[in-house]
Structure 1
Amino acid sequence: MESRHVSCVIAASPQSVYEFIADPANLPQWAAGLARSEVEVRGDELVAQSPMGEVTVRFVPRNDLGVLDHDVTLPSGATVNNPMRVLAHPEGAEVLFTVRSLDMTPEEFEADCAAIEADLRTLQTLLE
């Protein structure tokens, strides 16, 4: 299994970037691969309509460390863990997302990395 760290520097404070990402209402604005429309909150889970169908997302509890790890349960029932962090950076904040190949083909893995990078660029555009 291959892992790749995809990141983007955003000219905004780490706290403001973290707060924007952690707010479920903002997911459809920047996470095209995860949420196409408004996100429904069910307890500590988020339910979203994704390009794959309905997915359930569960983020780690809010914290002061910038950790936004989240599990995504796919329509197939498989759950994928997604490590994600907001780090302080000399130019503002750096958002770091770890992509894992799991059972993907090399082409699917490259496409997934490109999709995550596009989502982070959208986030950058929204917050700068």
Structure 2
Amino acid sequence: MRSHHVSRVIAASPVSVYEFARDVENLPRWAAGLAQSEVVRDGDALIVESPMGRVRVRFVERNTLGVLDHDVTLPSGTVVTNPVRVLAHPEGAEVIFTVRQIELDDAEFARDIEMVVADLARLEREVVAQA
């Protein structure tokens, strides 16, 4: 299994980036690689339509460390843990997302990386626009 780290610097405070990204109602606005429709709550999990089909998502508890890790249960039943961090950066905040090659061939892995790059660009636009 390979991993690839995608990062993006956003000209906003780490707290504002974290809070926007943490709000599940905002997921369809920026995380098209995960949520392509409204988010349905199922207890402490979220059910979303994704490019992979219907998936179940569980985020770590709200925290002050900027950790947005989340487990995605794929239609196959495989659980993928996605490490995500929002860190302080001299120009605002840096978001680092680790993409893992689980159940993906090399072309699908490259596509997933590009989707995360696009998602973080949308996150930046959304956060900066609301500031």
Equivalenced residues, count: 128
Would you identify which runs of 4 or more consecutive aligned residues in structure 1 move more than 4 Å?
none
Q: CA deviation at 1:108?
A: 1.3
> What residue number does 1:81 align with?
81
> What residue number does 2:65 align with?
65
Once the two structures are superposed, what CA deviation does each residue of 1:59-100 show, in whole Å capped at 9, x if it has no partner? 000000000000001111111110000000000000100011
Q: CA deviation at 1:110?
A: 1.0
- TM-score with structure 1 length normalisation? 0.96
> What residue number does 1:114 align with?
114
How many Å separate the matches in 1 of 2:46 and 2:14?
Answer: 23
Q: CA RMSD in A?
A: 0.9
How many Å separate the matches in 1 of 2:4 and 2:26?
Answer: 25
| Percent of paired sites with the same residue | 63
Q: Secondary structure at the match of 1:8?
A: strand
Read off the aligned partner of 1:54 and give its amino acid letter. Answer: R
How many Å separate the matches in 1 of 2:100 and 2:45?
Answer: 22
Bigger Cα displacement from structure 2, 40-49 vs 20-29: 40-49
- TM-score with structure 2 length normalisation? 0.94
> What residue number does 2:18 align with?
18
Q: CA deviation at 1:103?
A: 3.2
